[in-house]
Structure 1
């Protein structure tokens, strides 16, 4: 279940247009490891998880990734004056093959951990290419969130491999909820 709040995870205080910067961010919006791909992949994996705690974690992270997608849409709009389509930097349309849908639960978590790594890498690349400090603040925020997701997914994978107790899985959910409270 999702609920919508009419506010962004991070303020978008961009003062000037920069179409080149907007184009750079399209990769994180509609690219292979962009927020759309990640959100859909996590929702798909969530439905295939047998562990209720991991299912919940993937659902919560998927919902947050949709929030990141909305944040990027607003950033791209402020930079370009245009609402973005689901395209990557080369203006290639988003494809369903960006979403990995198969594998064991451990393999899915490994793919998700990898998705977070590449998303973070793309944000860091964008920081190097974009000059606007306001955009940098947003991207550093997103890098931090991707690191949190990557760490929690890695912990979930290890707990699954080790046959972790419900208490340990519950602590993982608590850790995610505490991390999100910091930004509310």
Structure 2
């Protein structure tokens, strides 16, 4: 149950009408990081929360406050539009640059909303429910919440510097303060989730054994910028300075003829890579159900592992040490990937 109180959470009275700024202020209502977004984000997070108690109460307290923020901003927009479009708009567009860029108020504020706020952003784009994040995982959601409040505060700060109206500035000062609090509370709540043993650093905290062990600790150097490895994250993560593509060509299959998509059938099959003596192969042995590494030309395997990830990691090390190619096969024997370390 929700109960509406007629008084605003904080005053929303401009000193004078300003339809141009009313247009800008729409971003804080219906933008991707506006108050409508965090309102519905927190409401659905609260409704989807499976843990009764402090976390759900915090979410619902904040969600309900955000409804009040939408009301404050909508009231401010309506008051900034007082007298528009007949007189205030004409005054606003006397500056030719402003007139060319924004043309005064958003016409839909008059035509559709009757001189009031819209559920839209500063370009008039309607608010979209796709903006919200409500996954049911509190760690993932709280991180999204902190980011949303950071973006919201950033936009509020920018708008604060776009007006000299004392009344508008006072309301925005309040909004800035609440965005500060909300960022801090979500960050602290993330810490408490870990302290309570509910979540860890990574969400979800599952399937760590199943994920590809070779690729869960590397950052791929894929840009010209050389300074990534200088960061503190290299204490836990390895910077892979010369990563190689692991998949085959990104070719789509032949289309359904009824779709009439242009298609040239392949003229010949792609030849399998040639395996030279001394290269290292990682493969599955049906005989004992283990993954093995064998140097091409040797009669016996160099190592055996219970998992493909362990064998692949050892095969890569062996190939690097020998300066040869590492060939990784699928369970059925087909070549999955090759890496040249010569």
Whether the TM-score (by the shorter chain) exceeds 0.5 is yes
Distance 1:59 1:124 in 2: 26
- 8 Å contact kept, 1:38–1:99: yes
Aligned to 2:59: 58
- 8 Å contact kept, 2:42–2:134: no
- Runs (5+) with no aligned partner, structure 1: 165-184
Aligned to 2:176: 143
Distance 1:36 1:111 in 2: 15
Higher relative contact order (CA closer than 8 Å, sequence separation 6+): 1
- Runs (5+) with no aligned partner, structure 2: 83-114, 198-342
- Report the alpha carbon displacement of residue 103 of structure 1 after superposing the two structures with TM: 6.0
Distance 2:4 2:21 in 1: 28
- Report the alpha carbon displacement of residue 49 of structure 1 after superposing the two structures with TM: 2.5
Q: 1:134 aligns with which of 136, 148, 167?
A: 167
- 8 Å contact kept, 1:25–1:76: yes
Q: Secondary structure at the match of 1:129?
A: coil
| Residues 1:99 and 2:123 aligned together | no
Aligned to 2:319: none
Q: After the TM superposition, which residues 21-40 of structure 1 pair with which residues of structure 2 at under 5 Å, given as runs?
A: 21-40=21-40
Q: Which moved more, 1:57-66 or 1:93-102?
A: 93-102
- Report the alpha carbon displacement of residue 15 of structure 1 after superposing the two structures with TM: 2.7
Distance 2:162 2:66 in 1: 23
Distance 1:113 1:28 in 2: 16
- 8 Å contact kept, 2:48–2:136: no
Q: Please identify which structure carries the higher strand content.
A: 2
Distance 2:12 2:179 in 1: 19
- Report the alpha carbon displacement of residue 12 of structure 1 after superposing the two structures with TM: 2.3
1:121-144 per-residue CA deviation (whole Å, 9 max, x = no partner) reads 111010111221210110010110
- 8 Å contact kept, 2:13–2:167: yes
- 8 Å contact kept, 1:124–1:143: yes
Q: After the TM superposition, which residues 68-79 of structure 1 pair with which residues of structure 2 at under 5 Å, given as runs?
A: 68-79=69-80
- 8 Å contact kept, 2:27–2:121: yes
Distance 2:186 2:166 in 1: 30
- Report the alpha carbon displacement of residue 150 of structure 1 after superposing the two structures with TM: 1.3
- Matched residues, number: 165
Q: Secondary structure at the match of 1:130?
A: coil
- 8 Å contact kept, 1:38–1:62: yes
Q: Please identify which structure carries the higher helix content.
A: 1
1:66-108 per-residue CA deviation (whole Å, 9 max, x = no partner) reads 0000000010001013211111011111111111132621010
- Report the alpha carbon displacement of residue 45 of structure 1 after superposing the two structures with TM: 0.9
Q: Which moved more, 1:6-15 or 1:34-43?
A: 6-15
Aligned to 1:4: 4
TM score, norm. by length of structure 1: 0.85
TM score, norm. by length of structure 2: 0.47
Q: After the TM superposition, which residues 166-177 of structure 1 pair with which residues of structure 2 at under 5 Å, given as runs?
A: none
